[in-house]
């Protein structure tokens, strides 16, 4: 039972968030929402601990489809970054603002970029493409495009508020639809251009601007016992995010990019990674 401790702790963490928001916001939806996500993450962690091959994909589908189809399409909530700016500018702590606070702003202090590896509905599709292991070197300079996307998103929603557009809720829903089409099309195109399923995450995704600073201090991370490491390079070859996982330092190259997929731990011949 001890080996499933992380799974239990993850469930308790999200259940704590669920109950707190339910009581403070007097809205039963938050109890259901975060209990469901926490349960999916916990089951996924338990499956991973048990050595099940598709544990992470189970969580991606369970959480990603819920957020894309139910929250996004059926409930018409813009859970993209534009939705976050919209609710933030409106002064409303609801929907996207709560989601971003938990998953992408403060949550990474605990689980780093676990969102990217286990819950992102864009990566959920991109990870099904054939380039799970990057086949070309990372284009470091292209990463600045993420900041351009971040700034454009901020500018777009700011302009909508300054110009006092009517029916902003409806506009936000259409931006959600258009944004997802652009993300999927761009992500698939980049994957085939760079032979890398995660090229979108590395070069274009604006959410990383939030994730990177907090992920540096993440409690949950891949550790390397450098005394055991034989520098075979197998971990570096399989890492989808080009993280220098054969170093223990938080300053290792692309350290804040780790999505906790643990592909590196599976190929390490000396069990130096954990």
pLDDT at 181 over 90: yes
Per-residue pLDDT at 167: 87
CB neighbourhood size of 50 (10 A): 11
Selection from 85, 95, 93, 94 nearest residue 161 by Cα: 85
CB neighbourhood size of 132 (10 A): 15
The neighbouring-strand residues paired with 273 are: 224
pLDDT at 7 over 90: no
In this structure, what token pair is assigned to residue 89? 């500018």
Each residue's pLDDT tens digit, 145-176: 999 999 999 999 999 999 888 888 899 999 99
Each residue's pLDDT tens digit, 103-144: 899 989 988 998 999 999 999 999 999 999 998 889 989 999
How much of the chain exceeds pLDDT 70, in percent?
Answer: 99
**Cα of 65 vs its chain's centroid, Å:** 14
Per-residue pLDDT at 44: 87
CB neighbourhood size of 185 (10 A): 10
Each residue's pLDDT tens digit, 220-272: 899 999 999 999 999 999 999 999 999 999 999 999 999 999 899 999 999 99
Selection from 170, 46, 25, 171 nearest residue 98 by Cα: 25
pTM as predicted = 0.91
* Alpha helical stretches, state H, the chain: 5-25, 28-49, 55-65, 81-90, 95-100, 108-111, 114-118, 121-126, 145-162, 168-194, 199-203, 208-215, 234-238, 263-267
Selection from 264, 272, 224, 259 nearest residue 126 by Cα: 259
């Amino acid at each position: 039972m001890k080996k499933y401790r992380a799974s239990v702790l993850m469930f308790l963490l999200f259940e704590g968030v669920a109950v707190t928001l339910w009581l403070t916001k007097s809205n039963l939806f938050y109890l259901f929402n975060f209990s469901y996500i926490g349960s999916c993450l916990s089951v996924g962690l338990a499956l991973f601990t048990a050595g099940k091959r598709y544990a992470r994909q189970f969580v991606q589908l369970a959480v990603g489809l819920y957020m894309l189809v139910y929250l996004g399409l059926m409930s018409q909530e813009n859970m993209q970054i534009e939705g976050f700016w919209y609710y933030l500018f409106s002064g409303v702590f609801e929907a996207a603002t709560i989601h971003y606070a938990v998953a992408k702003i403060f949550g990474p202090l605990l689980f780093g970029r676990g969102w990217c590896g286990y819950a992102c509905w864009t990566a959920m599709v991109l990870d099904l493409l054939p380039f799970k292991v990057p086949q070309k070197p990372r284009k470091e300079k292209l990463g600045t495009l993420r900041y351009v996307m971040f700034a454009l998103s901020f500018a777009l929603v700011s302009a909508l508020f300054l110009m006092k557009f009517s029916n902003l809720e409806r506009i936000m829903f259409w931006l959600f639809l258009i944004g997802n089409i652009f993300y999927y099309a761009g992500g698939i195109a980049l994957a085939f251009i760079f032979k890398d399923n995660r090229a979108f995450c590395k070069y274009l995704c604006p959410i990383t601007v939030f994730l990177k600073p907090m992920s540096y201090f993440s409690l949950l991370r891949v550790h390397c016992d450098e005394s055991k490491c034989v520098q075979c390079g197998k971990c570096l070859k399989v890492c989808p995010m080009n993280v220098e996982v054969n170093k223990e330092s938080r300053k290792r190259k692309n350290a804040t990019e780790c999505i906790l997929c643990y592909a590196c731990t599976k190929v390490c011949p000396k069990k130096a990674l954990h």
